[in-house]
Structure 1
Amino acid sequence: MPKGTILLADDDTAIRTVLNQALSRAGYTVRLTSNATTLWSWISQGEGDLVITDVVMPDENIFDVLPRIKKARPHLPVIVMSAQNTFMTAIKASERGAYEYLPKPFDLKELINIAGRALSEPRPSLQPADDDGTDIPLIGRSAAMQDIYRMLARLMQNDLTVMITGESGTGKELVARALHDYGKRRKGPFVAINMAAIPKDLIESELFGHEKGSFTGAHGRSAGKFEMAEGGTLFLDEIGDMPMEAQTRLLRVLQQGEYTTVGGRTPIKTNVRIVAATNKDLQSLIHQGLFREDLFFRLNVVPMRLPPLRERAEDIKDLVRHFFALGEREGLPVKQIQPDALDVMLRYRWPGNVRELENLVRRLAALYPQDTITANQIENELNQISLTTDVQPEQKVQNLAGAMESYLEQLFKEFGDSLPPPGLYHRLLREIEYPLICASLAATKGNQIKTAELLGLNRNTLRKKIKDLDIQVVRGA
């Protein structure tokens, strides 16, 4: 059985009772209090091996007490609980030296596991940032966002390379900036480069700089992004669009910590933190020979997936309020939103994610004279979006998923209390595979090698599917 005394502080009697029972059953001795004064008295007297405490106490905020705890007993682990589940809560807990941050509600088994880890592996304290944290860069209280906040808090005080993945509009650069602005490199520069926005023959020059006369038009020496980001963070956005030649040079930088400019010969040492991002499937690109596997493993030290907005719909209300407030600060009229209008937003799939939501909110604030936004206005705007022809390819894929979801909902409604005939999965799979393979063969003019690469399938697998689906292949058609 584990041993140790836990000091538990929470002003909610029910929470104290439940946690006391769970921790006692796990074999710990538990002392309970409802205020920060008693907790500090116990700690200052040397009592307790672990602290579990709520943030907001009747007499004092625990974030004001944490620095005193870390100064008096630097190796005493403190687990912070909070119902104020924002990004800044997680960051403040980490900055002030908390061992772990747990957003309420949480799983009791998770708490027991963390407590056991904290008692056996106490961590050193972290130095607080200079920023007072009044501007919250990330919005959302959903479970998916809590996972992001906790991961960010753990990454702030190290230089591990991070790979951020997620659909377009989920906020990958915003997360990268938060990682920089609240981390130990915050006094250094944050430099971003979008691989998809730069001509491929200029990417190496943009990244590593070039010397005078190194190519046509190079009239003088030019610093690259690595040099500009020295001592700070370099954000490589859309890394999946980086050409192979540049990938090779980037791999050298990650392996050896140095680079040469285009046309240069002298190696230059570099001290930057790399954060990469992509909305593409890099594993698929690796299989197609378009992305280096060794570079992927160098970049993917800490993978971080940002959830699409449809997976965190409970955050929409907070996001809408936040974007309206930003608009008001920029001079847009003050707006409110009716509950049924919010319901319309909750039902929408948001293929453009948070960026699409922000654009909609700004448009509502700017174009509608009414103080309160109605459901009809939201529906009209969303209908206009669905009729827009300028849709990105990844958004079309998401719209396809939405159409399939609607189709299935209607299908099950038609059968009422009964179910469709058995074999639904294989019937639907055939309906999708047949036109997909036919269209891909048409796009490659019947070239099965290119079709297999396009679909990300093994050539033998593609041949078998063509045979099973009885697809006629015509070369050059």
Structure 2
Amino acid sequence: MKKAALLVEDDEAIAKVIVTALENDGFEVARCDSVAGRDSLLAQRHFDVMLTDVLLTDGDGIETLGRVQNACPDMPIIILSAQNTLDTAVRATGTGAFEYFPKPFDLDELVRTARQAAGSGRRGGIDQGDAAEGLPLIGRSPPMQEVYRMITRVLNNDLSVLILGESGTGKELVAEAIHQLGHRKAGPFIAVNTAAIPRELIESELFGHEKGAFTGAVTRSIGKFEQASGGTLFLDEIGDMPAEAQTRLLRALQSGQIRRVGGREEIAVDVRIIAATNRDLAPMIAEGSFREDLFYRLNVVPLRLPPLRERPGDVGALAQHFLRQAVAEGLPSRAFTDEAIDILAQQTWRGNVRELKNLVFRAALLAREEEIDGYAISSLLETNAPAQGGGIADFDSALRAWLAAERPAEGDLYHAALAAFERPLFALALRRTGGNQLRAARLLGINRNTLRKRLSDLDIEPERFSAAD
């Protein structure tokens, strides 16, 4: 017997494509374009699955789903939407929908999901009603839609999430979104940059220590695991964690218990772990610098953040958001011309969203006119990297400008500044040596292996620097 599907879609072209695809898959399909039409059809007959758009001719498809679910509590619902924001994704899954598809979607995947939903006999989905407004995750591009869908899948469970992405892509923002929209939102969100903690202090920072555990431990200290109890612990730059700390972290994840440094008591902890890294952990596992068993503990749900160059269509919205943010923080009111936005969208943004934010703040500060035009943006892009020469005064100015734009957290200044200024320094050395790594290492006064490792960490390709440069 054929499965019956109800399609609620007011776009004639999209509706025709979906109806044809569902009918070819063996469905019997009824279609309407409004909330009233939907309610009328549901009152007349049974449907095995309903697919509905959000914005309909006479109302909001999500806001009016309550009465549908009361009348048909076991009917799976698939939500389609062109309003491709995290807020829409969370609203959609918050209704208990079986699945959410942002437009444009993969038609084959939609049909497979409809078939699965029709045979499930359950609504499924996530019982989550909070909105995502106010979270600065911006973008309507297909790569960001997949990020939003992954976020909604992990909100109401405690599965470990490993966020993968280049520096500056917004990994901590995603971790915060998972926490703030999830069932642990009433608990604390504790973020730890494991790369910024000295090796000898990282275990104390994570697990705490007892009085007298080591020189300088004059009082008992509560670690991040205990501080995050009932909430979420975000471990940033997990790939830089020392081996001995990896072992203790693995034990804590396996047992759900920690022991303070210098202590004997096992302390139960209730935390959700979200980790992040900008490094490729596979070669680190192969060479033994990262534990394979810890990787599998953390990588239950991998979530990849796309670099900005893979979503140029989002650059304009991000730039406008950062410009509003700059004004809110006291900088002069400015506006981008269309030409300026076009130029921004054409850049590669090796520093990703963080680099774009810094440039927008700098533009808001330095622009001489209320409108920031293409010429102003081009001029700023030419000086986007710290100056190659000019002595201590220029370097000091660059450092001050970076501090004003970046505002690194207390305790993170040294490592953040080092990471920001290493890239142009290594680029300069490679440019002066025509891309020759051995000569560049000699110029810098460091070991060649150290140079190769840092170039890999910073994603700098030596072959880009020719002798002609």
- The TM-score, its normalising length taken from structure 1, stands at 0.81
- Residue 27 of structure 1 corresponds to 26
- Residue 185 of structure 2 corresponds to 186
Q: How far apart are residue 332 of structure 1 and its match? A: 2.9
Q: How far apart are residue 394 of structure 1 and its match? A: 8.2
Aligned partners of 1:164 and 1:237: how far apart in 2?
9
Q: Is the 8 A contact 1:213 1:220 kept in 2?
A: yes
1:58-91 Cα offsets, whole Å, 9 max, x none, are 2121111223333333321111111111111111
Q: How far apart are residue 126 of structure 1 and its match? A: 2.9
Aligned partners of 2:448 and 2:10: how far apart in 1?
70
Q: Is the 8 A contact 2:322 2:357 kept in 1?
A: yes
Shift in CA distance, 43/325, structure 1 to aligned 2, threshold 3 Å: farther
Aligned partners of 2:341 and 2:427: how far apart in 1?
21
Q: Is the 8 A contact 2:256 2:268 kept in 1?
A: yes
1:8-44 Cα offsets, whole Å, 9 max, x none, are 0111222222211111111100001010122133335
Q: Secondary structure at the match of 1:385?
A: coil
Q: Quick one: which amino acid aligns to residue 384 of structure 1? A: T
Is residue 12 of structure 1 aligned with residue 11 of structure 2? yes
Q: Quick one: which amino acid aligns to residue 225 of structure 2? A: F
Q: How far apart are residue 134 of structure 1 and its match? A: 3.2
- Residue 69 of structure 2 corresponds to 70
Shift in CA distance, 237/453, structure 1 to aligned 2, threshold 3 Å: closer
Q: Is the 8 A contact 1:10 1:16 kept in 2?
A: yes
- Residue 275 of structure 1 corresponds to 274
Q: Is the 8 A contact 1:172 1:277 kept in 2?
A: yes
Instruction: Select between 59-68 and 147-156 the one with higher mean Cα deviation.
Output: 59-68
Aligned partners of 2:14 and 2:318: how far apart in 1?
29
Aligned partners of 1:68 and 1:437: how far apart in 2?
70
Q: How far apart are residue 275 of structure 1 and its match? A: 0.3
Q: How far apart are residue 296 of structure 1 and its match? A: 0.9
Shift in CA distance, 187/363, structure 1 to aligned 2, threshold 3 Å: same
Q: How far apart are residue 454 of structure 1 and its match? A: 9.1
Aligned partners of 1:446 and 1:223: how far apart in 2?
41
Shift in CA distance, 306/394, structure 1 to aligned 2, threshold 3 Å: farther
Shift in CA distance, 125/240, structure 1 to aligned 2, threshold 3 Å: closer
Q: Quick one: which amino acid aligns to residue 126 of structure 1? A: I
- Residue 472 of structure 1 corresponds to none
Q: Quick one: which amino acid aligns to residue 124 of structure 1? A: G
Q: How does 1:305-454 map to 2 (within 5 A)?
A: 305-388=304-387, 392=420, 395=423, 435-436=436-437
Q: Secondary structure at the match of 2:13?
A: helix
Q: Secondary structure at the match of 1:271?
A: coil
Q: Quick one: which amino acid aligns to residue 126 of structure 2? A: L
Aligned partners of 2:451 and 2:322: how far apart in 1?
44
Shift in CA distance, 99/384, structure 1 to aligned 2, threshold 3 Å: same
1:112-158 Cα offsets, whole Å, 9 max, x none, are 111112123344353233x4443243100111101101111111111
Q: Is the 8 A contact 1:85 1:103 kept in 2?
A: yes
- Residue 223 of structure 1 corresponds to 222
Aligned partners of 1:137 and 1:292: how far apart in 2?
33
Q: Is the 8 A contact 1:75 1:124 kept in 2?
A: no
Q: How far apart are residue 439 of structure 1 and its match? A: 6.7
Aligned partners of 1:75 and 1:188: how far apart in 2?
33
Q: How far apart are residue 369 of structure 1 and its match? A: 3.4
- Residue 92 of structure 2 corresponds to 93
Q: Secondary structure at the match of 1:6?
A: strand
Q: How far apart are residue 395 of structure 1 and its match? A: 4.9
Aligned partners of 1:60 and 1:201: how far apart in 2?
60
Is residue 155 of structure 1 aligned with residue 154 of structure 2? yes
- Residue ranges of structure 1 left out of the alignment (5+ in a row): 404-430, 457-477
Q: How far apart are residue 335 of structure 1 and its match? A: 2.0
Aligned partners of 1:160 and 1:342: how far apart in 2?
39
Percent identical residues: 48
- The TM-score, its normalising length taken from structure 2, stands at 0.83
- Residue 233 of structure 1 corresponds to 232
Q: Is the 8 A contact 2:126 2:153 kept in 1?
A: no
Q: Quick one: which amino acid aligns to residue 216 of structure 2? A: G
Q: How far apart are residue 162 of structure 1 and its match? A: 0.6
Q: Is the 8 A contact 2:161 2:298 kept in 1?
A: yes
Q: Is the 8 A contact 1:55 1:80 kept in 2?
A: yes
Aligned partners of 1:360 and 1:133: how far apart in 2?
26
Instruction: Select between 187-196 and 15-24 the one with higher mean Cα deviation.
Output: 15-24
- Residue 394 of structure 2 corresponds to none
Q: Is the 8 A contact 2:334 2:364 kept in 1?
A: yes
Shift in CA distance, 125/375, structure 1 to aligned 2, threshold 3 Å: closer
Q: Is the 8 A contact 2:437 2:452 kept in 1?
A: no
- Residue 304 of structure 1 corresponds to 303
Shift in CA distance, 224/91, structure 1 to aligned 2, threshold 3 Å: same
Q: How far apart are residue 230 of structure 1 and its match? A: 0.5
Q: Is the 8 A contact 2:234 2:275 kept in 1?
A: yes
Kindly tell me the number of residue pairs found equivalent between the two proteins: 421
Q: Is the 8 A contact 2:99 2:125 kept in 1?
A: no
Aligned partners of 2:294 and 2:327: how far apart in 1?
44
1:409-455 Cα offsets, whole Å, 9 max, x none, are xxxxxxxxxxxxxxxxxxxxxx98xx4578789989799xx999999
Shift in CA distance, 398/117, structure 1 to aligned 2, threshold 3 Å: farther
Shift in CA distance, 102/291, structure 1 to aligned 2, threshold 3 Å: same
- Residue 102 of structure 2 corresponds to 103
Q: Is the 8 A contact 1:338 1:374 kept in 2?
A: yes
Q: How far apart are residue 190 of structure 1 and its match? A: 0.4
Is residue 209 of structure 1 aligned with residue 218 of structure 2? no
